[in-house]
């Protein structure tokens, strides 16, 4: 029951309105966004004001970038030099 309470009280719903509703078959595609936003939304404003750093070449990087934009904080995202152009352009 505590798990359900944590889900329902998660701050991720502040961003979820931008995602259209769809069947749960694609639920995992939003996992990185929800995780990044939820973790960053729990940070005190003082920490967000200093910015965040992540290392990712994929969906987590996109999640951190969107969360930083929504939470009005800066983000540095480190990607390997071998990251495909389509990935780093989407961040």
Whether 24 is covered by a domain: the verdict is no
Which tens digits make up the pLDDT trace of 26-85? 555 567 788 899 999 999 999 999 999 999 888 889 899 999 999 999 999 999 999 888
> What is the domain range of residue 14?
2-19+29-89
36 in Cβ contact with 10 (< 8 Å): no
SS (H, E, C) the chain: CHHHHHHHCCCCHHHHCCCCCCCHHHHHHHHHHHHHHHHHHCCCHHHHHHCEEEECCCHHHHHHHHHHHHCCCCEEEECCCCCCHHHHHCC
- The residue ranking higher by pLDDT, 18 or 55, is 55
CATH of the domain at 59: 3.40.50.1100
Overall number of domains in the chain: 1
């Amino acid at each position: 029951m505590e798990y359900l309470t944590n889900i329902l009280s998660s701050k991720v719903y502040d961003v979820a309105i931008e995602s259209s509703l769809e069947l749960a078959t694609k639920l995992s595609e939003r996992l990185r966004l929800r995780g990044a936003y939820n973790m960053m939304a729990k940070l005190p404003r003082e920490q967000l004001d200093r910015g965040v750093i992540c290392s990712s070449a994929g969906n987590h990087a996109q999640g951190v970038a969107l969360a930083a934009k929504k939470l009005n904080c800066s983000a540095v995202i480190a990607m390997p030099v071998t990251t495909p152009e389509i990935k780093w352009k989407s961040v």
